[in-house]
Homo-oligomer: A and B are copies of this chain.
Amino acid sequence: MSVDSDDCLHKSRQMPRLTRQQRTVLEVLQQLAQPISAQSLYKTLRQDHRSIGLATVYRSLEVLKLQGLVQSRINRQGESLYSLVQQDQHYLTCLKCGQSTPLDSCPVKHLERQLQQSASFTIYYHSLEFFGLCQPCALLD
């Protein structure tokens, strides 16, 4: 009889329960539909009067990634954007103007499952992005 039902969600080993700050960071990501940078997340929390240290924001995101809960991609300006792993979004990005258009579905879901089995590697998420020129930029030549 489980007294603490939350335990069911975790592996048998001494998987450390998430700290208050780590849960806060996770909640922000859950409420957001879009990837967000660590800096923005930090500022968002300050405005909400739920401030946590900037270093802790970075550390929490790292922990959550290692748990397989959070993923990151790096935008044009070299800034990391974080989101839940279940957000599985991919983009066409223009090298000239930087505009990103999302694809309407993930083309490699199946491939990931396939790889998962062949390789001795636990896959948490993937990144896939196409780069080139959008129509307007291509016309300028």
**Contact yes or no, B126 A127, CB < 8 A:** no
Residues 83-107 of chain A: 1 if any B CB is under 8 Å from the residue's CB, otherwise 0? Answer: 0000000001011100001010001
Q: Which residues of A contact B (CB under 8 A)?
A: 11, 13, 15, 65-66, 68, 71, 74, 78, 80, 92, 94-96, 101, 103, 107-108, 111-112, 115, 119-135, 138, 141
**B contact residues around A131 at 8 Å (CB):** 71, 123-127
**B contact residues around A123 at 8 Å (CB):** 92, 130-132
**Contact yes or no, B125 A132, CB < 8 A:** yes
Q: Contacts A66-B96, A78-B80: A124 and B128 contacting too (C-beta < 8 A)?
A: no
**Contact yes or no, B78 A74, CB < 8 A:** yes
